[in-house]
Amino acid sequence: MLPSLRDAWSVSGAKQPAPGLRASKFEGGSDLVLASVNADGRRGLLVRANAEDRLQETVDAVTRESGALSAEIYPYFADGRSSRGIHIWCLHSELHDAFGSFCDSLIPRIIAGDNIHAAFVECLEDFRSLVVGADADGNASGLIGLVGELIVLKELSQLGAEACAMWAYPLRDRHDFRNGEAALEVKTSLRSNNGRPLITI
C-alpha cells in the first residue's frame, strides 16, 4: 500500500541529505506525479510530461507568478527508461502545509488529463481568489481602482510587453506595479461633477 503524499514527503525528508532529488510514488499520484524532496529538504512534485506539454512556459509561469514556488525541467529515469518532467517545489519550509493543500488541488487535475501549465494556472487562480476574495458589497470603488490600473497597464505595455509581469493584480501588494527598486501605485477616484461621474487617475 502506497503512503499518502504527506507521508511520502516525511519519509523522504527523514533520510540523510543527498544531492539530487528523492522522488517516490504515493497514493493518488498514479504514474504521473511523484512526491519529491530536494537536497535542501524542500517538498515538491515531479510531474511526468507529455509530448505536448509546454514545460518552459510552465516553469516561467511558476517563477513569475509565485515568490514561494520554483520550478525546473527535470530529466529522470522511471521504469528503466528515460523520462522528463517538471519539478515544482516550495521554497519555504514554513509554507509546506499550504503547499500540500495546493498540491491536493493540482494533482487531480493532472490525473484527469489537464496539461501541467493549465492545471497550475487554474490552481493558482483558485488560491488567489480564496485569499483576495471578491467585492460582494456592491461598492464600485474596487472596480474603479481596477479600471485605473488597467489604463496604466495599457500605457506601460506600449513601452514594453514585460509590463504585465510587473503588475501585482490580483494580489494586494504594497504597490500596484513593481520593477526591481522602482514601484508605482495607482490611485483612482470617482466623484460627481454637476451630476456627471468624474474619474480621476
Tell me which of 79 and 91 has the higher pLDDT.
91
Tell me which of 132 and 196 has the higher pLDDT.
196
Predicted local distance difference test score (pLDDT) of residue 27:
94
Angle at Cα 137 formed by Cα 131 and Cα 140, nearest 5°? 95
Predicted local distance difference test score (pLDDT) of residue 104:
93
pLDDT at 140 over 70: no
Angle at Cα 167 formed by Cα 98 and Cα 190, nearest 5°? 110
Which phi and psi angles does 50 have, rounded to 5°?
Answer: -95, 165
Q: Which residue has the cell 488597467?
A: 150
Residue 159 to residues 99, 137, 152, 163, 164, Cα–Cα distance (Å): 36, 36, 11, 8, 11
32-83: pLDDT as tens digits = 999 999 988 999 999 988 766 778 988 998 888 888 999 999 987 766 777 7
pLDDT at 172 over 70: no
Percent of the chain exceeding pLDDT 90 equals: 27
Q: What are the cell numbers at 110?
A: 493532472
DSSP per-residue codes, 35-104:
EEE-TT--EEEEEEPPTT--HHHHHHHHHHH-SSEEEEEEEEEETTEEEEEEEEEES-GGGHHHHHHHHH
Q: What are the cell numbers at 32?
A: 504521473
CA-CA distance, 45 to 11, in Å (whole number)? Answer: 15
Q: What average pLDDT score do residues 107-131 get? A: 84
pTM to 2 decimal places = 0.63
